[in-house]
Chain A
Amino acid sequence: MLNVSDATIRPASTGETGQAVPGQWFRVRARLSRRARILLAFASILLPLGLWSAVSYVPFIWHPDMLISDPGDVDYFQPGMRVDKAMFASEIANAKTGGTAPPVGTAANPVYLPAPGDVLMAFYTSFTTPPMDQNGLWLHQSLWRSIQTIFWGFVISSIIGVPLGILCGANSAFSRLIEPFVEFFRYLPAPAFSTLAVAVLGIYAGPKIAIIVIGTLFQQILIIANTTRKADFSLVEAALTLGTKNLRLLTKVVIPSVLPDLYRDQRVLLGWAWTYLIVAELVGATSGISLFITQQSRYQHFANVYAAIAMIGILGLGTDLILAALARKLFPWDRAAA
């Protein structure tokens, strides 16, 4: 069996290296216990959720509206209608002085802030609710459309952007030729190209994928180029003295040495692509999760809207976590990933 003496195995470096400094309440990069890390991660999710629940379920926090349960004799009130508290109070006063039946209602939040419970329910019900029009799509079909748009947009962008970025980062001539143009282009907002994209690519998947490509590609070239430029040149020199020549320096030294960093870049860029999704799907014929969101908000089903937005977040975060776990398998030598 392999006998690796403990003196030779160094602990993988984590970002948190500072030792405990007693007597200070603010410690720079102090190491946390595993328990504390888990607790803080939960708190990061639970604190905003708790705040939202408090606003939704504790009647005296906020609740600026009244939800009418019985309109009484007020002719423009209807059951299920939300009115301003001030207006409700003045109608009660009117009823008292006029001797008519007063309206009855409960304090409520505006329609655009559904309670967490409603949103949680919507996660289930929005999948079981049939599409509104006959040839409409179920939610899972819409989501699948969106995932495909992201996937193809990101793949096409990467097929062009990653090799180009690596070339720019490794070779000064390429860098000078390509990067000034890209620098200029990356400031142009992707949605500005939507009409052009529709004119060229029609109204279906084409222009949507194009917007994601435009939104991602130019950043991608520059980020990948920068990462490649950070390749440790002394490794290139070592390879040179071992007789490595020309393109093999790129494929056998530069690329492997920055591969974990390129992979991290790609994860960040994929997140970027997700943020372009809604804009992209509104181009041409609205489709995917955006179609679902616009339809639901038109009917004021905001619980469904929130659920759909949360689904995008969950899909994005989920993919990223899977990719992060994969990185630890793919790059066992990379201590930054450990």
Chain B
Amino acid sequence: MKPAAFEYLAPRSVEEAVALLAERGEDAKVIAGGQSLVPMMAFRLATPAALVDLNGVSELDHARVDRDTLVLGATARHRSVQELAGLRERCAMVAEAVGLIGHPPIRNRGTAGGSIAHADPAAEWPALLLALDGEVDAMGPGGRRTIAAADLFRTYFTTALAPDEILTEVRLPLPAGAVGSAFVEVAQRHGDFAVAGAGALMIVADDGSVADARLVLIGVRDTAVRSVAAETILRGASPTDPVLDDATNAIRSEIDPVSDVHGSSAYRRRVAIAVARRAVTLARDRAHAAVA
């Protein structure tokens, strides 16, 4: 299976890329890592008339921790994020999630921006963006706008980005203090898309109660999802095992997994609750270790 013919465009700046995308219209697509788009082109599920390649736009190629925010340009590879010094200590959830994306060759090319724009409901980056209350910048013919994570993901493979907009930067605030976090998933093989996965983050107050809690799930419905029910139970509570049980059982009402070759809907539900429990437990134990 070979991709259909297309016009190849290699802009050097964001401005040029936006202009090319606008000029070519709806049949043009942006290519970043190509790790999702090229397979779709090989299957002829995507047949763009033109590809605007972001890989030569140097202003998009950056990855750094700025004070308390992880800042990623649109062509920052999964691998570049893994290589940021001290990231695991700063936010284990991000380091663990990125390590679970595909295999080394996929991580060497694939990008955080591409994963967020692609919006696969089992992908890790959209979950990280939601869990950390992140935001993205998008640039279109009308100029630049910032979109909050909560407003970005619409349904399967669909975001609030317009076809003529380019996602230029991803920003993830990293909480500081007595914080612990983790990302846990179950997959057929290491690196495969998760059957279900969960990211959790907890901040504990001086009195030992939960000052803030985040729980995000993947592979369980049309988009990655924050569990409002679980977070509500956790906030202000003392994070004992029974409380964690209650919180993670509460995700039941918020998930609606599909059945496929990798597992039935009922199986995915059980896996989701199990990985949520493991992630929240790790987050709690790590938060306690951060205090000690």
Bound pair: A and B?
A: no
